[in-house]
């Protein structure tokens, strides 16, 4: 994964913000040039019509591409300093010109925004190996109440193909069997099937139904206050 792909992962370009930052439209897309390291280097960042970010660093005097930038084995010294300054430029562009898009499917991102609006919680991505698995925790108890992940549809139903994003929620065990009879609901993938359920985030289940079930799952994470003793 390139430097640009790592930094702009889970982001969406706000094209309306590009001119204000200094990007100019060209045949290649939107282009911005930034000098750094006292003018010894310049970064040329290009964003195409699909929002893909590419970049290159040049030595200003010779206009040659600075090849050591892409050598991962060199991470310290002068090369590391140049790479660090270039990454700061990209991070600045990300902050000014991008919106966060944590997941791939539209309903996944809508649900994420609604969860944040209601509880103030953003997803955590605790596993480097499974970087598209986002966990929602109650910060008071640190317990999970939702897990969004991208999986193969065949893991839910062997007759299906392609990828799907799902959310796992914890619900009352008595409620789960009836939900399994409805479209979009499956036995919990990779979690306790007695107390968790998997729901596909492909608009099979309306947003308002999802959010109501999230609220039920969230209830399980609320710390119970101890009963006060009578005097």
CA angle 209, 213, 219 (to 5 degrees): 150
Q: pTM for the complete prediction?
A: 0.67
Q: Which two tokens stand for residue 169?
A: 């929620």
Gyration radius of the chain's alpha carbons = 23
- Tally of CA atoms within 13 A in the half-sphere of 12 that contains its CB: 11
User: Tell me: the pLDDT tens digits for 136-176?
Assistant: 999 999 999 999 999 999 999 888 888 999 999 999 999 99
Instruction: Locate 16 and state its tokens.
Output: 């309306």
For helices 207-219 and 106-119, angle between their N-to-C axes, nearest 10 degrees: 50
* Mean pLDDT rounded to a whole number for the chain: 92
- Say what the pLDDT of residue 224 is: 73
Looking at the predicted structure, is the pLDDT value of residue 36 above 90?
Answer: yes
DSSP assigned state of 201? -
Burial 88-100 (b: 16+ CB within 10 A, else e): ebbeebbeebbee
pLDDT band at 229 (very low <50, low <70, confident <90, very high): low
pLDDT at 19 over 50: yes
Q: Are the beta carbons of 43 and 56 closer than 8 angstroms?
A: yes
Structural domains of the chain, with CATH? 3-100 (no CATH), 106-219 (3.90.1150.30)
Residue 231: its pLDDT value, please?
Answer: 46
Q: Which two tokens stand for residue 73?
A: 């084995």
Q: Which long-range contacts (CB under 8 A, 24 or more apart) does 148-152 make?
A: 148/102, 148/103, 148/108, 148/111, 148/112, 148/123, 148/201, 149/189, 150/103, 150/104, 151/189
Cβ neighbours of residue 51 closer than 8 Å, sequence gap 6 or more: 12, 13, 15
Q: What confidence tier does 94 reach under pLDDT thresholds 50, 70, 90? A: very high
């Amino acid at each position: 994964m390139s430097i640009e792909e790592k930094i702009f992962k889970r982001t969406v370009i706000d094209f309306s913000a590009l001119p204000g930052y200094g990007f100019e439209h060209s045949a290649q897309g939107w282009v911005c040039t930034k000098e750094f390291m006292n003018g010894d280097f310049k970064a040329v960042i290009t964003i195409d019509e699909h929002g893909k970010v590419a970049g290159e660093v040049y030595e200003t005097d010779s206009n040659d591409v600075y090849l050591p930038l892409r050598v991962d084995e060199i991470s310290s010294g002068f090369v590391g300093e140049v790479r660090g300054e270039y990454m700061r430029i990209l991070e600045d562009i990300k902050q000014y010109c991008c919106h966060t898009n944590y997941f791939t499917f539209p309903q996944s991102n809508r649900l994420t925004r609604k969860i944040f609006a209601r509880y103030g919680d953003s997803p955590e991505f605790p596993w480097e190996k499974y970087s598209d698995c986002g966990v929602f925790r109650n910060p008071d108890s640190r317990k999970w109440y939702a897990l969004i992940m991208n999986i193969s549809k065949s893991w839910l139903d062997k007759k299906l193909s392609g990828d799907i994003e799902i959310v796992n929620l914890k619900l009352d065990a008595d409620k789960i069997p009836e939900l399994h009879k409805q479209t979009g609901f499956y036995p919990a993938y990779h979690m306790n099937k007695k107390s968790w359920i998997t729901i596909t985030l492909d608009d099979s289940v309306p947003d308002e139904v999802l959010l109501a079930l999230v609220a039920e799952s969230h209830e399980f994470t609320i710390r119970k206050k101890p009963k006060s003793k009578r005097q």
